[in-house]
Amino acid sequence: MATTKAREDIKADLKTLKEDLKIGAREETQRLREKAEEAEAKLRAKSEEVRDQARGYYDTARVRGREYYDDAAERLDEAQRYIVERVQERPVQSTAIALGVGVVLGLLLAGRRR
């Protein structure tokens, strides 16, 4: 009888242990889900922050690029006006200079081909 009682006690203890493990596993699963949700929320917040920062950098770069483009276009227009004025002031001299530059470039390019 003592062995039967001991077996029943062992079976009861194993059953209790099994239930405790199930409860522990459920609790741990829930805790892990909560941790995963917290991590996901933090990641989303950080990604929004990085996205906003990237938008700011893009907007700044776009504005600066436009400023540089406008400045370069203005300088090019000024240079073009200056050249046109000088050519109109001295047409013969300008034509001679242009001819000389053309001849020099032609000789340089022809020399490379040989």
The per-residue pLDDT for range 30-73, each reduced to its tens digit, is 999 999 999 999 999 999 999 999 999 999 999 999 999 999 99
- Can you give the residue range of the structural domain that contains 20? 2-113
Total domain count for the chain? 1
Predicted pLDDT of residue 114? 57
34-46 b/e (C-beta count within 10 Å ≥ 16 → b): eeeeeeeeeeeee
Which stretch of DSSP H or E encloses residue 3? helix 2-89
Indicate the residue type of 26. R
**Tokens representing 71?**
């400045």
pTM above 0.75, yes or no: no
Whether the pLDDT of residue 113 is over 70: the answer is no
